[in-house]
Amino acid sequence: MKEELPAKAPEARPIAKRPATVKPPALKSTTTLAVDVGGTGIKAAALDEKGKLITERQKIKTPRNATPKKLIAIIAELAGMAGAFDRASVGFPGVVKDGVVYTAPNLGKGWNNFPLEAALKKKLKRPVRVANDADVQGLGCVTGHGDELVITLGTGFGSVLFVDGRRMHLELGHHPFRNGKTYEDELGNRAFVKKGKKKWNKHLREAIDEMAKMFNYDRLYLGGGNAAAINFKLPPNVKVVSNTEGLLGGIKLWQYEAVAKK
């Protein structure tokens, strides 16, 4: 059917003058030095706003008895190698609350109650945020929906739970797992080296079953250097995540805290 045209075309209304399009000022790009303190190496790289690497990842071996003094000197050296940066994020292998370290089972002495964030701020003369290493890795990979457990398999056994994006740091590594041994005793790097890949994989499979029952997570992410040695088929809601995703956590640490502290 042909559409009926109105008898008279409506009067053209004057076009309101639109304000000239104002471009928002370009955001100042912020470079973050992302530092990951591990039991065997301390790694650092400079990242852009999006978490893309600006510099190559540099690594310095973790010294024996890594005290606060030794670690701060190494982080300052890595900062020097990375060049210009505006702020630093540090993933630390122990319990950290509000920038203060309480435990460091795989480093050295002198960490209980050590204000690492404040000490690094002073040394690097930049804003610094320090959080647990597994937490930082998790911030980089979780979706923010549902119950998400993140486990890191490196020197130690790192753990953190995210519920709709809110994080709850865990220290599952030091809890009983099997035969009076802890998760870290059985799945940390010492066990990996001592008992071999086959046994380690067998125990990891058992640990995944245990954790699934314990947390009923929607998704489990496995990170850390030894995650690459997993040789069995993982359940569909379990995923191996890379270190690059961990780096992204160094950026998220700033966004997340900004929201959480409001």
| Residue 68 near ligand BGC by CB under 6 A | no
Distance CA 95, CA 112 (A): 9
74 Cβ neighbours under 8 A, 6+ residues apart = 42, 60, 63
114: CB partners within 8 A, 6+ apart: 68, 100, 101
Cα 24 to its chain centre, rounded Å, is: 31
Q: Please select the residue that binds ligand BGC; options are 130, 134, 222, 247, rule is CB under 6 A.
A: 134
Size of the chain in residues: 262
Span near ligand BGC by CB under 6 A; candidates 27-35, 93-101, 192-200, 236-244: 93-101
The reply on whether position 246 binds ligand BGC by CB under 6 A is no
8 Å CB contact between 191 and 203: yes
Cβ 167 to ligand BGC shortest distance, Å: 13
Quote the least distance from Cβ 224 to ligand BGC, whole Å: 7
Contact status: 106 vs ligand BGC (CB under 6 A): yes
Task: Give yes or no for residue 186 binding ligand BGC (CB under 6 A).
Answer: no
Both structure tokens of 116? 């690492």
Member of 60, 81, 95, 234 binding ligand BGC (CB under 6 A):
95
Binding ligand BGC by CB under 6 A: which of 36, 117, 148, 184? 184
CB of 165 to ligand BGC, least distance (A): 19
Whole-number minimum distance, CB 209 to ligand BGC, in Å?
21
With left for phi above 0 and alpha for psi between -120 and 50, is residue 207 left, alpha or beta?
A: alpha
| Residue 156 binds to ligand BGC (criterion: CB under 6 A) | yes
41 binds ligand BGC (CB under 6 A): no
Instruction: With CB under 6 A as the rule, give the number of residues binding ligand BGC.
Output: 17
List 68, 99, 140, 158, residue binding ligand BGC (CB under 6 A):
158
- If binding is defined by CB under 6 A, does position 223 make contact with ligand BGC? no
- Report how far residue 110's alpha carbon sits from residue 66's, in angstroms, rounded to the nearest whole number: 9
- Gap between the Cα atoms of 189 and 196, Å rounded: 10
Among 99, 173, 223, 250, contact with ligand BGC (rule: CB under 6 A)? 173
Q: Are 31 and 84 in contact (CB under 8 A)?
A: yes
Considering the complex, what minimum distance in angstroms separates the CB of residue 161 from ligand BGC? 13
Long-range contact list for 52-58, CB < 8 A, 24+ apart?
53/247, 55/81, 55/82, 55/83, 58/82
Note the residues at the interface with ligand BGC (CB under 6 A): 93-95, 103, 105-106, 132-134, 152, 154, 156-158, 171, 173, 184
